[in-house]
Amino acid sequence: MPWLGAAYLWVKAAHVIFVIFLMAGLFMMPRFFVYHQETVPGSPEDKRWIEREARLLKIILNPSLTLVWVFGLMLMVEIGAWHFGWFHLKLLFVLALSGYHGWIAGYVKKLAKGERPLTDRQLRLLNEIPGVAAAVIVIAVIVKPF
């Protein structure tokens, strides 16, 4: 029995909107990292990148991830998604993206401390993760291959 009623489409719309915000942040932050790593630790430019990254994390990424999960769980319950194979694939990749978000938050802290553990090339490769995950998630949800 549906419990969201007429709110279902609003919840679905909110879920998609915050997924878009989250993905934008997940694509932006590694690019920020590439530019940030080119600065000298402790320089005025370094401090500006630290501030930009903190704001992107605090204003866009963290709230978006939270709301994606809240609205997504509401939708999961509403449609009984746990019983569908496509949902398990989606959930696996959503968990991976959530872990990627956690890695991003950790890397923000490392850069703020002046640490530069990854190369520009490695960061550019890591920037492909959200795109691949988004493609798999969209195919799972739209095509429902199983």
- Give the residue ranges of the annotated binding site: 15, 90
**Cα radius of gyration (the chain):** 17
End-to-end CA distance of the chain: 24
Q: Could you tell me which residues come within 8 angstroms of residue 29 by beta carbon, excluding any fewer than 6 positions away?
A: 53, 56, 57, 61, 104, 108
* Cβ atoms 39, 46 nearer than 8 A: yes
User: Which residue reads 């194979």 in tokens?
Assistant: 85
Q: Are 22 and 64 in contact (CB under 8 A)?
A: yes
Known binding-site residue numbers for heme: 15, 90
